[in-house]
Each structure stands twice: as structure tokens, then as C-alpha cells.
Structure 1
Amino acid sequence: MSERLVPVISLRDFNTRKEEITQQLINAAEHVGFFSLIDHGISTDEIEAQFAISKTFFNLPAEVKGKTPHDPTTNNGWEYKAQLRPSTGLYDQKESLWLQRDSSWPADADVPGFHAKTTTFMAKCATISDQVLSCFALALNFPPDHFQIANNPHEPDCLTQLRLIHYPPSENAAGTWRAGTHTDIGCLTLLFQRDNEDGLEICPGRESHSGFATSDVFTPVPAETGPIVVNIGDMLMAWSDDRLKSNFHRVRAKDVGISAARYSIAYFNQARREFVLQGPKKKYPPVTVGEYFAQAVQRNFGAMGGGGDAVAV
């Protein structure tokens, strides 16, 4: 398996280094579609605290987790091994809790401090996202706040979500897919991982946001507590006239031995349903975010079976 490095980008002194950071982000987005952020403003302790909240929730009995049921019309709530992946024809081997600002949340009586701590964590994710997206707006010759307005989580039509994810330990699953090959439909994904809970693999190679072309070479991305692994989604690829790459990724079980439990947290910038997106060169006709999602779901889950999805790993 050949090495394909994920660039590491520091957000330290963001306001004074914005031009330099923008160049680094664009280079990563154009050539890899993934990058790792450090010096981003969320401490390792804060990340571990959010993972502790996640583990407390997933350790609850199913009937308690089920008090926040998954709603297929909004894609919010708790689901357990319920996601059928077109790329494999199998259900992903994980459970997850999808959350939006105004969706149903677990009660603090079941997970103490859940709402306040998770809301604070989401706000910090939004701040980091705004920084990255302002750089992309600058490089694409949009107004500086273009993507920030489009992804404002305080607007009632914003589709942005946080997803807490748990992969239970698996035996005799060498080489199988804990999460099958897919891309993210949305704009920009922030992924938090924990030390030694590996499995994420990436595979650059797409040339258009609606294509399924990919190479056969996947590269592992070691899990580490602290850095945020960020990837471009299909929507931002379309929004950039295919300049910024939304590439395939998966979570794979170990080739040898038992795959231990894996936890991850994903923050999806999915933009506002009524916001109209179109690239600076107008390669594609204008479309609302809601219309884009509907088209992407049909395209990705249709007969081609290539493996696009609105989820992270």
C-alpha cells in the first residue's frame, strides 16, 4: 500500500497567517481532498471530554438510547447498524447519534451535562469551520463570508449536524468494511479520532463531484487524539467547479486479529437548505442546497452504486 500523506496545517495565529494558511489549504484540497488541522483551538482535554460523553451515551441500554430515535425525515437521532452502503451491499458495522441544534437530544438525566457540553463543542467546531471556509472563499474569489453565511448553524434551514459514532469490537472480520467506501455529500467535514483507534483509509482520484472514478490504492490515516482530519464534501467540490476534491474514504477492519472498539466524532457543515450554490466559473447551473442533496442522494444511491453518502467515519 503506497503512502499518500495527509498534509498537516496549523491554524496558529490565524488572522496574521491567513494568506499562508489559505495557500496550504488550497494545495491540500486540490491534490488530496483531506488535511489535518493542529493548533485549532480545541484542547485535547476538551476533545477527550466530548468522547467521554459519547461513550457514556453508547454504553446505555438500547431502550435508553432509543429514547432519541432516528428520524429518517431529518436524519437525526440514534441508529444501530442501520446504514446500507451501496459500495459493499452491506450494513456499516457501527452505531451513531445524529444531532442538530433543534433536534431531539439525549436527556441530561441519562447523560449528565450532555446538552451544554455538546453545544459548546459544536460551537467551537463552527468557529474552526468558519476559518477554513473563509480561506476557501478567498481563494475562489467569493466574498470572505460567503461560505460562513451559507453554513450558519443558527439559521433555521441549516442542515449542519454533529455525529457521534461507535464501532463495536469485531472478531474474525479481517479486511472487511466497518464503514464502506463513500464520499460525504455535504460541504466540509471535521473528524475527531482517538489514539490507536485506527481504520480510516483515503483514496483520492475523483475529477468531478458527480463521478465515481477512483484508484485501487487506499492509504491508512492513523488515528490520533488532538488533530482534526478534515475532508472536502461533494457539495463544496461542485461549489468550486470541481477544483476542490471530495474523495473516497472508508473504515477497514484489521487484516490480522481483533479490531478494537473505535469512536469518532464528525461535524458536518452541510449548509442552509434554501441557499443557492454555484461555482465562480458557473460550470454547473445554480441549485439550492436542498435540491443538491436530493440529487446527490439519488445519484449516489442509484443504479451506479458507487458509494457517496452524507456521513463521515
Structure 2
Amino acid sequence: MAQDGKAAAAGTGRETIPQFAKLMAFGRQLAFAMISIIALVVLFTALNPRFATAGNWYDISEQMAMIAILAVGQTFIIAAAGIDISQGSVLGLSSMICALSIVNFHLPIIVAIIITLALGAVVGALIGAAVVVLSVPPFIATLGMLAIALGGALLTTDGEPVFNLPSAFLLISQGTVLGLPTMAWIAIVLALIAAFVLNKTRFGLYTLAIGSNPESARRAGINVPRHLMLVYVLGGTISSLAGIVYTAYTATGEPTAGTNYELYSIAAVVIGGGSLFGGIGTILGSILGVLLMMILKNGTELAGISPYVEEVMLGLVVIGAVYIDHLRRRQR
């Protein structure tokens, strides 16, 4: 099967663009992200010297953590030529379930975490079933799940947040290890594992092969429906992990947590070189995309720019990222 996967990857590469050209295009996108990050750092440091302080970069690492976690899941889904716009709502639902399990039902922390991750896996499986079995486009399937998850989160407590989480649970993201917040380390470890899976394992190879050309992948012996199901299950589980981290960070179960987070994660993947048409993407690129956007967000706040302007800028970044992806495809 490993040979079949390699054949699938090779076949899809021949049917799109030469592998060298693909790598060059991806390299240019990474270089663009790095240059943009450096330019923004210089600009915001000049506008407010506080931007370059260690304390502010600590804050940026906290702001990055949740989006970076979501971007990891989004990378796999987009690499398989899908998309998940339900991530923010699934994060909010997971936050409520995790908090309620601990505060209202007095379950042990580890049990609450397992239940929450299992919820994410079920959500991912439902999305996967809609895409694979019912042939619903991923955008529509996840749009429906966005509404379902948000409604479910609000129904759990009639829209009221859940407080009084134990201090032992809060240590998940509020502690510090080697000068970095614990939640940042969670994102780093997840990113390293995901990078290995995407680049060095059959699962990652099949994901990219399916995203490049699902028909060629099927002919090479890959069970495309089963693999797509697994990709969405993975994505849902990672969204729930982000919900757990969010709950521990804010010490609150919040039904509307994660609003617009999916926009950040999608933009991060595309800014980092991933393609909304599938077959291309790396975890490193996605993390660089997250870093760029969080620098932009943090820098504008320090510069005294209205948070409403930040929302407009987020929309422009998403549109710009999609346009760049469109230009890359035309150049092929």
C-alpha cells in the first residue's frame, strides 16, 4: 500500500504540475510570509517600541496558541481539498461540554478532557459522513455544522457561561514552561507531531494525494472515502482540543468562544502556501501564517487602531489569501 500511495502522489503530480515547479511555488509563498513577518515586526516596533519587548512576545505566543492548533487541523482538511468553517463553533461547544463536565457533573479532569475530545471526533465523523456518504460539498457540510454546534453550545446553559473551574484544570494553559506559556507548548508539540504525520507517514501522503487528484488516488488503491472520514475526524478532534485549551486559558466555558477563529485558520493555511484546491500545504507554512496574522493583530492594538478595523483587516487578509492562491493556480 505504501508503494500505491507513492504511485498516487506521483501520478497526481504528473497531472497537475512538475514536482519541482510545485516546490518552487511553495518556497516563494513561504519566503513571502517570512518577508511580510519581518516587515511587520520592523514597522510595529517603530510605531511602538513596546512591541519588541519579551512581555509582548509572550502575549503574542498566547494569542497564537489556539489559532495554531486550529490551523493544524485545517491544514489536513484543506490539503485533502476540503474546508472546515465550523471550527470556531465546535471550539465553543467543546468549551461548554468540558466546563460542564467538570463543574456541573464533577467528573475528573482527565475524563472531561476525553469526553470533549470524543465529542470533537463525533462532530468530525458527522461532517465526514455528510461529505463522503451524502456527497454534500465540504463548505455546506461545515456551514451546517457551524450552526448546529453554535446552537448546541447555547442550548447547554441558555447561553450563560460556566465559571468556577478548578485551578488544576487551569494549569493546562495558564502555566509557564521554559519562559513560554503552557498553551504555546501544546501548540508546538501538536505542530511537530502533525508535521511528521503529514510529511513522513502514509496518512499524510494519502491526504496530499487525495487533495491533488482523488480519482488517481482511488486508482492507486487508496480508500478515498475512508481516508476523508479520518481526516475530518482528526480535524474535529483538534478543534475540541482548542476548545479545552481555550477553556483553561479563560477559566470559563463560553458558548460563543471561537467566533471567526476558522477565518484565521483558513487564512493561515493559505498564507503559508497551502492551496484551497488541495494537494499542497505544510504545518510550518500554516504556523508562519498564524504568526503573521497575530503580529498584525497585536501590532495594530499597540498602535491604538480600533478593534473594528482589525475585523475589516481580517476580512481583507482572507480575501487576499484566496486571491494569492488563485494566482498560484493560474501560474501553473
- Place the TM-score, normalised by the shorter chain, in its bin: under 0.3
Greater length-normalized contact order (CA 8 Å, ≥ 6 residues apart): 2
Q: Which has the higher strand share?
A: 1
Q: Which has the higher helix share?
A: 2
